[in-house]
Amino acid sequence: VAVDAMGGDLAPAAAVDGAILAAERGIPVVLVGDRDRIRACLGARDLPVVHAPEHIEMGESALAAVRAKPASSIAVALGLVADGRASSMMSCGHSGAITVEAVRTLHSQDAAHRVALAVSLPRLDGGRLILLDVGANVDSRPEHLCEFAELGVAWARTRGVAAPRVGVLSNGEEPTKGNAVVRATVEALEARGANHVGQVEPGPALEGACEVLVCDGFVGNVAIKAMEAAVALVTRSVGAESPAAVHGGGLLLGVQGVVVIGHGRASAVEVCAAIQLAHRSASAGASPTDPPARGA
């Protein structure tokens, strides 16, 4: 797993510490970034390092930064995946820049398809809910949400779900509920013969109404961040420790390679979880980046 050591608010310390934890669990890692700063964090530890002379800051414009910094830690790490020298890549850096660079370096599976960032959330019934898009795009159209459904179904299948049900994230469950994009997406899924359950609210989704829940990337990103903020509010207000993040990291679906995007504020333990997600995804018998099944 190529680990972008420069990404995230706590980089490089949290990224390096997380990589050390992952290595202790038997996951082969390579750290990518400023060699001197990484070695300072590593101390006496011996992990492979690949130098990258540049890194992209969180506040930069994604497109401009990718163009201006061809030797960023993100670009170098993705290059290792493209060259087959790493199975996968994990970064807690600028998600927009990672997405743009991943499409450029690894290419999308299908030029006609958008990529999407997906997270796997625990459900109350013990299953998992794949939610996408949580931020690779904004202002997506119904046809994009149908593509997200195909990507999500393909990922769910690699995790052993034989017939994943697709829901469309909504403010209500009746066919009249949702905004214009939601209603058109449900109609399009129906027309494609998808295995879908129509509009689904967040509560029923986490209770087990579906395995794949699609939404526009703006809506999904706000929903995930609202979940995390509410959990932090409730746990801190009762004086408890904040629990681990709601999800271990987002998997970028639709590119030819495994790319995991971790939280910008990820701790070492959360970085390790995101590296594990990358490793698991790359090791899965069926790659999550297989071409999506039609009719999903």
Site string for its own copies, 193-212 (x = CB under 8 A): --------xxx-xx------
Region near its own copies per CB under 8 A, out of 68-76, 214-222, 253-261, 280-288: 214-222
Q: What are the b/e assignments for 127-159, b being 16+ CB within 10 Å?
A: bbbbbbbbbbbeebebebbbbbbbbbbbbbbbb
Strand-pair category, 196-200 with 166-169: parallel
Q: Token pair 């201006």 is at which residue? A: 68
Question: With contacts defined by CB under 8 A, how many residues of the chain interact with its own copies?
Answer: 47
Q: Please spell the DSSP secondary structure of 6-74, one letter per residue.
A: T-STTTTHHHHHHHHHHHHTT---EEEE-HHHHHHHHTT----EEE-SB---TTS-HHHHHHH-TTBHH
Question: Which residue, 31 or 200, is less far from its own copies as judged by CB?
Answer: 200
What Å distances lie between residue 273 and 11, 67, 155, CA to CA? 16, 30, 18
* Site membership for its own copies, residue 143 (CB under 8 A): no
Site string for its own copies, 233-262 (x = CB under 8 A): xxxxxx----x--x----------------
* Site membership for its own copies, residue 168 (CB under 8 A): no
* Site membership for its own copies, residue 217 (CB under 8 A): yes
CB of 30 to its own copies, least distance (A): 29
CB 256 within 8 A of CB 109: yes
Question: Which residue, 111 or 180, is less far from its own copies as judged by CB?
Answer: 180
CB of 227 to its own copies, least distance (A): 3
Residues 261-290 touching its own copies, rule: CB under 8 A, are none
CB 250 within 8 A of CB 261: yes
* Site membership for its own copies, residue 232 (CB under 8 A): yes
Determine which residue in the list 10, 19, 169, 275 makes contact with its own copies, applying CB under 8 A: 169
CB 25 within 8 A of CB 279: no
Binding site for its own copies (CB under 8 A): 59, 61, 122, 124, 135, 138-139, 169-172, 174, 176, 178-180, 182, 201-203, 205-206, 215-219, 221-238, 243, 246
